[in-house]
């Protein structure tokens, strides 16, 4: 799955920031919280499965976990600076 076409909404970015205990985030509802925690701990095969139904959430968690500047990108998205 290509991540180039996935748009992460500001709300999703804020939820992921909260999940990773970063400034600028806020707590999601119980389902979204469990989903983000599951994505954060899933192995690659199960992450791909979850990403088919929740692409923005999966990409945002991937960014937070794996991109050197992922938290900065998510912070920019959350604040409306980045698209």
Distance of alpha carbon 38 from alpha carbon 23, whole angstroms:
21
pLDDT, one tens digit per residue, over 31-54 is: 999 999 999 999 999 999 999 999
Task: Give the dihedral of Cα atoms 74, 71, 62, 50; nearest 10 deg.
Answer: -50
Distance of alpha carbon 43 from alpha carbon 57, whole angstroms:
15
pLDDT category of residue 81 using cuts at 50, 70 and 90: confident
pTM above threshold 0.85: yes
Whether 55 contacts 6, CB under 8 Å: yes
């Amino acid at each position: 799955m290509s991540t180039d076409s996935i748009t992460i909404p500001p709300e999703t970015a804020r939820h992921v920031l909260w999940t990773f205990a970063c400034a600028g985030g806020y707590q999601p509802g119980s389902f979204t919280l469990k989903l983000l925690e599951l994505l954060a701990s899933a192995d690659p095969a199960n992450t791909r499965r979850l990403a088919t139904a929740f692409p923005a959430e999966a990409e945002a968690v991937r960014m937070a976990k794996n991109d050197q500047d992922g938290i900065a990108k998510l912070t920019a998205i959350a604040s409306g600076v980045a698209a």
